[in-house]
Amino acid sequence: MQFGPMPVRAATGGILGHSLSLGKERFRKGRVLSAADVAALEAAGHATVYVARLGDGDMAEDEAASRIATALAGPQARTAAAFTGRANLYAETAGLARIDTARLDALNELDEALTIATLEDYEPVEAGQMLATVKIIPFAAPRTAIERGEAMLKGQPPLVQVAPFRPHEIGLVLTRVADTKDSVLAKTELAVSQRLAQLGSRIRGLRTVAHDEGAIAAAITDLKAEGCAPILVFGASATVDRHDVVPAGLMRAGGDVLHFGMPVDPGNLLMLGRHGDVFVIGVPGCARSPKLNGFDWVLQRLCAGIAISRRDIMRMGSGGLLKEIPTRPMLRDGGPRDSSGKAGAADSTAPRRPKIGALILAAGLSSRFGDGHKLLAELDGKPVLRHTIEHALASSARPLLLVTGHQADAVRDAAGAGVEIIHNPAYAEGLASSLRAGLSALPQGLDGVLVCLGDMPDVTSATLEALIAAFNPVEGRAICLPVVGGKRGNPTLWGLQFLPELLRLEGDTGARSLLGPHAEWVCEVPVDDPGILHDYDTPAALAARPVTKS
């Protein structure tokens, strides 16, 4: 790839290296300069610009990022569309991130253009949380490097995946001595219940017994017979040796002590044992508190269906110093969390996939379509509207809200499954009334909303995903719209920071009227989708519909 300054007049076809202002307009870094762009730059007084030009051996940044991200992703890891050379991977469920760190290092050593950042191995994640990001540093990467990276990943176990938390029916044994208070037992049971709830599991069987190896053995035997797994044993007195009361009780029940102690503080006095195919954990006393300790790391793995060995325990020392670290936050629901990532669940501020909903506007009068209704007209064996909805359903946008008005019953029937119906009784007032009705029905917690038109059945789900991938208000991309051949089209993705202004629109004024006042937030997203320009207001327009990609 060639990069450097050149005269503006020679920059046509180059990739703009740095963002530039042209009065009220702004050309963003990465823009492929057209002849019209060059003329505008010259008119604005720019004589020289930094541009990049790709060579035959280069792969464009989005293609390179997308190919590596796709090759990285394993079970329960979803790859988002690439934008500005970045492709993110997100967790599709709550669980433990599993990262092959050795191969990750090898990939990052391939070429300086290719960078991959991930969470730590075994880090707890929530659904939608970011697992990894692939970033191509310049505007392209050597094709040979990307192909070598794909070859390193092909035919191997996934490098990035999620081991989901599965519901477990847990057995809990609490022992007591003469002076054990009931409040201590209740506090212990509550702490365990809260931990398990974070991991999608629950206590199935509870035994409170004397701090005696015979009583402990009987409780373990009973709970195993009831189908509890794993079984957790809290001793009234700390276990200080592998031959102490709790380990001895497990041995008497016919189980084995696999390992005693762990290089994690707090949590040193944990016992790892098994009784047949059931893990039995002698829990350290620190786990009576909701604060993070080594027991949490063991419990997370077991609830994710990951077996624990003696070697696994002994390799937890790196990062295992948890004691007296005030910066480690707590879970929103009171459970343990570790700022290093090895904790009960993901931090609510962790990077995550943006939560984007979609409005599909289908309330108009369809007055130019003659006696029929454009959204109900048949197209390839189904109503025009159903095509639009199916493309939206194939994207990650949720929920999908369909705003009805004119011929509402027929439009609802044509819509089919997968959308929530919002009726706009004031549809005759114009487009803005439908926008207000749909926006007012959006649920809490969304970051943005795609405003889609029901009569644009050729807009692909890939285009919707490209808009979602580009959306990043922190980086100034809070209004995203698709562009093909230099022409802006629909739909548009709006950050909810603009909701108050969108709700004040009147008459036939659409959301796009706000693009000018908020130009600094606008991001044009190049797509290979002429469908963003195609709506069908008349029977003639529908009959002349061009052949489109499926």
Predicted confidence (pLDDT) per residue in 479-501, tens digit: 999 999 889 999 999 999 999 99
Its domain, for residue 45, covers: 2-53
Is 299 within 8 Å of 272 (Cβ atoms)? no
Q: Looking at the structure, tell me whether residues 69 and 107 fall in a common domain.
A: yes
Average pLDDT of the segment spanning 369-398: 94
Residue 345 lies in a domain: no
Quick: pLDDT tens for 413-455: 999 999 999 999 999 999 999 999 999 999 999 999 999 999 9
Q: Looking at the structure, tell me whether residues 107 and 202 fall in a common domain.
A: no
Q: Looking at the structure, tell me whether residues 250 and 364 fall in a common domain.
A: no
Is 237 within 8 Å of 287 (Cβ atoms)? no
End-to-end CA distance of the chain: give it in Å, rounded: 34
Percentage of the residues of the chain whose pLDDT score is greater than 70: 94
Last residue of a domain, one of 53, 71, 93: 53
Q: Looking at the structure, tell me whether residues 280 and 390 fall in a common domain.
A: no
Q: Looking at the structure, tell me whether residues 102 and 203 fall in a common domain.
A: no
Domain count of the fold of the chain: 4
Last residue of a domain, one of 164, 185, 205: 164
Identify the pLDDT of residue 547.
58
Least confident of 86-90, 140-144, 168-172, 540-544: 540-544
Residue 324 lies in a domain: no
CA dihedral 57, 60, 65, 66 (to 10 degrees): -110
Of 148, 539, 252, the closest CA to residue 376 belongs to 539
Is 271 within 8 Å of 246 (Cβ atoms)? yes
User: Is the predicted pLDDT of residue 477 greater than 70, yes or no?
Assistant: yes
Which CATH number covers residue 147?
Answer: 3.90.1170.30
Which CATH number covers residue 370?
Answer: 3.90.550.10
Long-range contacts of 469-473 (CB under 8 A, 24+ apart): 469/80, 469/81, 469/82, 469/83, 469/87, 469/88, 470/83, 470/84, 470/523, 470/525, 471/354, 471/356, 471/447, 471/495, 471/523, 472/354, 473/447, 473/497, 473/521
Residue 366 lies in a domain: yes
Identify the pLDDT of residue 539.
87
Q: Looking at the structure, tell me whether residues 64 and 146 fall in a common domain.
A: yes
Q: Looking at the structure, tell me whether residues 532 and 440 fall in a common domain.
A: yes
Q: Looking at the structure, tell me whether residues 45 and 82 fall in a common domain.
A: no
The SS3 of residue 285 is: helix
Two tokens at 104? 């990750």
**What H or E segment, with its residue span, contains residue 435?**
helix 431-440
Which CATH number covers residue 187?
Answer: 3.40.980.10
Q: What is the DSSP letter of 138?
A: S
Q: Looking at the structure, tell me whether residues 159 and 177 fall in a common domain.
A: no
Q: Looking at the structure, tell me whether residues 36 and 111 fall in a common domain.
A: no
Mean pLDDT of the chain: 92
User: Is the predicted pLDDT of residue 37 greater than 80, yes or no?
Assistant: yes
CA distance 82 to 65: 6
Residue 28 lies in a domain: yes
Residue 103 lies in a domain: yes
CA distance 214 to 468: 60
Longest dimension (CA), the chain: 91
Q: Looking at the structure, tell me whether residues 419 and 279 fall in a common domain.
A: no
Residue 548 lies in a domain: no
CA distance 296 to 340: 13
Last residue of a domain, one of 119, 136, 164: 164
Quick: pLDDT tens for 86-129: 999 999 999 999 999 999 999 999 999 999 999 999 999 999 99
User: Is the predicted pLDDT of residue 346 greater than 50, yes or no?
Assistant: no
Residue 423 lies in a domain: yes
Q: Looking at the structure, tell me whether residues 33 and 91 fall in a common domain.
A: no
Residue 322 lies in a domain: no
User: Is the predicted pLDDT of residue 327 greater than 60, yes or no?
Assistant: no
pLDDT band at 138 (very low <50, low <70, confident <90, very high): confident
Identify the pLDDT of residue 212.
96
